[in-house]
Amino acid sequence: MDDITAKEFRGKIQEVQNDLVLEYLNVRRALGYLGFLLPAMLIAYGLWPGTTFAPSISEFYYTHMGGVFVGVMCAIGVFLFTYKGYRREPGEILSDKILSRIAGLLAIGVAIFPVRVDLPALCEDPAVNLGLECHPNVLHFGSATGFFVALAILCIFQFTKGNRTRDGRIKWTPDNIIYVSCGVIMLACLLALVPYVLLPTVTEALAPWKYMFVMESIACIAFSIAWLVKGERLQPVKRAVETVAPSPATDD
């Protein structure tokens, strides 16, 4: 192979690699933007005069934003399903690809199994065709819970794989601090919703404050930040974390 052909060959490989990197970055950024835009759009709608501010993100399904809710969740599901991330290591059970596909399917499940609320004749009137609304609520809540748990696992255990010591310990770089923090925040929001969902007295006390919507929105924003940082965005956030982050170990 002469020098010109070799250079062209190397150039083609680099071009393909650059295209793949850009594709991965765009998928990560798209997920981050969607995670932020969903609660932002619902808040804007809910605060508009003459509209209804639903108690939770899921219950906006029953407003004029229902199509937006379904569309964004399905888009998130598709993007997650196409995400590959790090290659599966020998003996690894939950790789990036498996976790992201589980989260993607669950995101679509949140959309096609909407939360059931106490509205008259939702499932009793045969003339009303509302799709898959006559289902147990466990399908919706199970999908939503599993979605955030899978994403939290991705953030804490998979996103941090790029910066670890030889024995597998996480290096506390600014990126890893953000990933782990976002995963923990998502799990904390889920735990904070347990008494709200299970205890009627807690529900009654916190419902006027849109407690469920607030917790879901915080989890969505944590999801958004993690994916945007993974997509090499939010540099000011990374610099702010860097000012308080400990110096990472050089490696052993």
How confident is the model at residue 149, as a pLDDT? 95
How confident is the model at residue 215, as a pLDDT? 96
Among 129, 232, 94, 136, CA closest to 175: 232
Query: The whole model's pTM is what?
Result: 0.81
- Residue 183 in contact with residue 156, Cβ under 8 Å? yes
Calculate what percentage of the chain has a pLDDT beyond 90. 39
Using CA atoms, how far apart are residues 62 and 239, in angstroms rounded to an integer?
A: 41
Q: Look at 35 and 126; give whichever has higher pLDDT.
A: 35
How confident is the model at residue 166, as a pLDDT? 79
- The segment with the largest mean pLDDT, out of 64-78, 88-102, 129-143, is 64-78
pLDDT tens readout for residues 192-208: 999 999 999 999 999 99
How confident is the model at residue 118, as a pLDDT? 65
How confident is the model at residue 185, as a pLDDT? 97
Q: What is the mean pLDDT of the chain?
A: 80
pLDDT tens readout for residues 71-87: 999 999 998 888 877 77
Q: Is the pLDDT of residue 121 over 50?
A: no
How confident is the model at residue 168, as a pLDDT? 75
Q: Look at 227 and 7; give whichever has higher pLDDT.
A: 227
Using CA atoms, how far apart are residues 157 and 170, in angstroms rounded to an integer?
A: 9
Q: Is the pLDDT of residue 112 over 70?
A: yes
How confident is the model at residue 128, as a pLDDT? 40
Q: Is the pLDDT of residue 56 over 60?
A: yes
What is the DSSP secondary-structure string of 55-122? SSTGGGGGSTTHHHHHHHHHHHHHHHHH---SPPPTT-SS-HHHHHHHHHHHHHHHHHSPPP---TTS
- The strand pairing partners of 164, in sequence order, are 170
